[in-house]
Each structure stands twice: as C-alpha cells, then as structure tokens.
Amino acid sequence: VNPTQTIARKRDGHSLTRDEIAAFVRGFVQGEIPDYQMSAMAMAIFLRGMNDDETAELTREMLLSGTTLRWSANTPPKVDKHSTGGIGDKTSLILAPLLACCGLQVPMISGRGLGATGGTLDKLESIPGFRTDLTPQEMCDQVERVGCVITGTTDEIAPADRKLYALRDVTATVASVPLITASIMSKKLAEGLDALVLDVKWGSGAFMKSLDLARALSKSLVAVGNQMGVPTTALLTDMNQPLGRMVGGTVEMDESVAGLTGHGPADLMQLVVALGTELLVSAGAAASVDDARRRLVDELNSGRALEKLHEMVKAQGGDLDAPRPLADESTVSTADEGLICSIDAERLGLAVIEMGGGRKRLGDQIDHSVGLQMLVRIGDHVQPGQPLVHLYAAQPVSQRLRGLVQQAFVIGRDAAEERPLILERHGESGVG
Ligand code: URA
C-alpha cells in the first residue's frame, strides 16, 4: 500500500479499507511511515471524518500495537468507566471501589489533567505514598486480589496512540470524533473488559463545548465498543458547572471519601449511581435496573465501599488515613444581586491551575493542598456581598485570581434554563 495514495484517498473523501488502515498504522508504529505523513493523514481524517467501520478498524489497529490485559478464567466480569473529563469530576474515585464491592472487577487505567480539567491520577496522588505507575502484571494481580485498581497507562498499552496523540497535539487535529474515539477506545479495550460505560460531558467545563459534537462522540464511542465485542453504553452529561462542590486535589479526595459513605453532593451521587447501574446491568451482574441501584446504594450506606477504597489505596502503597494538608481558606464574594444564570466552569478549573493545583507545562509539580469549594449553583439567587466560592490557596490571593473567579459567574435577571444532569443515554444494555 502506498501511503501517499492512502492519504490522497482520505483527503478526497473516500472510505479507507481495512488493509489500508492496518498498513498505515503498522507502518507508522514501525517507523516506516514518517511523522509528516501521519500528520497529513490525521488532518485528512479531521477534515473528512471516518465512518463507524473505519473508526473501529483504526481503533483495532491502535489496540493491537500494544499489549492487552489477560485475566484468569472464571473470575468476575471486568468493567470500567471512562469520562471525557470535567471540572470537579471525581466519579472514578467512588465508582471503582463501589463496583468492586458489588462483585465486579475494575482495571481502571486513568489519566492526568487535560486542559482545565483535573486528572484522576493527580487527585489520587494527594494521598501520601500512592503509586500510579503499576506494571500490567501488577495491575492484573491487584484486580484479582482486591477487585479494583486505578493506575496510569504504560508504554506497553496502545503505543500507537501515544505516538499519534503527540502529533495531533501539535497539528491542530485533537478535536476529531474518529481520532478521539480510536484514542480513547484503544486504551480502554486494552483492559480486556466485559462492559464499558462512557461519561461524555458537554458544556463550559468540558472538552466538548458543543452538544452536537459531544453527542456525535458519544454515539461513535458506543458504536466502536459494541462493534469490538464489548457491551458499551454512554451517558451524555451536563458539565456547565463543576460536579459536586469541590475542585482540586485534596478537596476532591475528601469529597470522594464522603461520597463513599453515601454523603456526597446530590449531583455527584446521582451520576455515580447512574454509571454504576449501566455497568451492573451490562455485565449481567444485576437482575434489573432497580436491583442495580439498590445494591449500589446499600454498598455506599454500609461503609463497605469506603473500606474497599482503603484496601485499594493500601495495595498501591498509600495511606488514606495520613494527613492531607489543605491550604489557607479565603472567600470570593459577588458585588451583584440576581440569579446565577451561567458558570464558566473552565475558568474555575483554570483558577485552580493558577493556584498551583494543575499543570501549565508538562512536568509541573501539582500542589494538592489548593482548590476551591463552590457555594452556589446555577439558578441560585445571590445578594451583594454573598460568598460564591471558598478558595484554598497557598499564596496570598491576587486581584487577578479573584477577578478570574468572579468573572466565571454570570449574574442576571433571567432564570437559568433548567438542564438535567444526564441529558441522554446511548447504547443498548437494557437500562431503561
Ligand atoms: N482523551 C484521549 O485519551 N484521547 C483523545 O484524543 C482525547 C482525549
């Protein structure tokens, strides 16, 4: 297969064959197809798109570029949840131990902060000693022993994605539905799953600002997962304000611990239970939606889910009881009166990064002690002088930072549009 011709065919809007995609990805991984040709192909895909069959083939080839986790026979179903990322999204920290308590096994390979969103691994690293660099063998051993693991990816998993993502990042080709689908699914399917649920977020704090694009991504992820033989469903969820109340390392870890005893904020707990229900039903581990919900809530209320988090953290070298310091608290208030019409959640994420709670450059150290607490939600009525957020800041809070936070809140007269947290569900697991 001539790579130039394959690029030209995609540039001209044709569908690529299985052989063309396989030859291109394999050539790229083996160094026979140079970065400039892969960059041109990424741009052709970005502009022309791919159908579901092409996207599934691209995913399969990227998956086959590396190793997949192998499980012993007759062990419980393996499941995972992946979120496209949002501000204050800590559902993974609750869901992994919770599902393990419900008899499933969760080999969760998670990521670091991307853009303004915080990463699950970064939040877990607020726990002293916690390791996020397990080898595939350590992952498998821990999952079979404890029931869950949350760790980073390794060089062995989908190396084609790592190589391609680095090019996409610098060639303006990240925001492409087929390329994102293949990137996410090649890593998730390497976990050897029996069921997968995706939380596709849209809104001011999400990677996907447009509802149409988020919907297209959600449907594409579901189509590819199912085509590759893994029962996959997705929830399209609102990310126009932070999920829960806390944004930052230690504060989100603390909120997750509260959630694991059933005492988390309502929106966070609603999403945890909805995503958990999808997986229990898809994996055939619950007789019905009601059964799934009841079991999830029972495990939270019993305290067993929190015990499971302790067990997971200990297995990964951490101590959940060790002190997790919190920076000094100060308050940002509003000068206005009215309704909170909208919140720029991304701006709040950026404020946390500004305080040192995220990275501005690759390799930056994260200060887990900083963050913020939301004191208001969209639709609340506020008075002049009313606090909007508590900041936890290691340095004196500058006027610039205070302004950044205040500008995240649009306060006016018109009642905000009521939006459900879970807008749509895609896929066929039988959850009604
Ligand atoms: N996350 C990924 O893993 N890949 C993408 O392409 C975008 C977000």
How much distance in Å is there from the Cα of 180 to the middle of ligand 1?
A: 5
pLDDT reported for residue 80: 98
Average confidence (pLDDT) over 208-235: 96
Is the Cβ atom of 200 under 6 angstroms away from ligand 1?
no
Residue-level pLDDT at 428? 86
Average pLDDT over residues 12-29: 98
Q: If you average pLDDT over residues 1-9, what whole number do you get?
A: 95
d(CA 267, CA 179): 30
Q: What's the pLDDT score for residue 4?
A: 98
Residues belonging to the active site = 82, 161, 168, 183, 187
Q: Is 218 in the pocket of ligand 1 (CB under 6 A)?
A: no
Taking the CA of residue 179 as reference, the ligand 1 atom at the shortest distance is 6
| DSSP strand pairing (232-238 vs 106-109) | unpaired
Residues 85-112, mean pLDDT to the nearest whole number: 96
Q: What confidence category does residue 415 fall into, taking pLDDT thresholds of 50, 70 and 90?
A: confident
Q: Which residues contact 333 (CB under 8 A, 6 or more apart)?
A: 385, 386, 387, 388
Q: Which one of 82, 168, 174, 198 would you pick to mutate in the ligand 1 pocket, going by the greatest count of ligand atoms within 8 A of its CB?
A: 174
pLDDT at position 114 is: 77
- Which residues fall within 8 angstroms of residue 67, CB to CB, at 6 or more apart? 136, 156, 157, 190
Tokens standing for residue 150: 């949350």
Ligand 1 binding pocket mutation candidate from 120, 165, 168, 218 (most atoms within 8 A of CB): 165
- Average pLDDT in the 233-262 region? 97
Please give the number of the atom of ligand 1 that sits closest to the Cα of 184. 3
pLDDT in tens, 321-378: 999 999 999 999 999 999 999 999 999 999 999 999 998 887 889 999 999 999 999 9
CA dihedral 314, 319, 320, 324 (to 10 degrees): -150
**Residue 420, CA distances (Å) to 30, 118, 235, 240, 364 in order:** 47, 23, 12, 11, 36
Strand partners, 199: 83, 235
Length of the chain: 432
Q: What's the confidence (pLDDT) of residue 414? A: 85
Handedness of CA 56, 57, 60, 66 (dihedral sign): negative
Pick the residue whose CA is nearest to atom 8 on ligand 1: 180
Please give the number of the atom of ligand 1 that sits closest to the Cα of 187. Answer: 3
CB atoms within 10 A of CB 152: 17
Ligand 1 mean position, distance from CA 120 (Å) = 14
CA of 182 to the centre of ligand 1 (A): 9
Q: Is 312 in the pocket of ligand 1 (CB under 6 A)?
A: no
pLDDT at 430: 56
Reported as a single tens digit per residue, the pLDDT across 173-211 is 988 999 999 999 999 999 999 999 999 999 999 989 999
Q: Atom 3 in ligand 1: which residue has the minimum CA distance?
A: 184
Q: How far apart are CA 297 and CA 306, in angstroms?
A: 13
Could you give the C-alpha distances from 103 to 196, 397, 423, in angstroms and in order? 16, 46, 29
Identify which of 151-165, 263-277, 403-417 has the greatest average pLDDT. Answer: 263-277
Task: Note the pLDDT of residue 431.
Answer: 63
Question: Cα dihedral sign for 199, 204, 209, 215?
Answer: positive
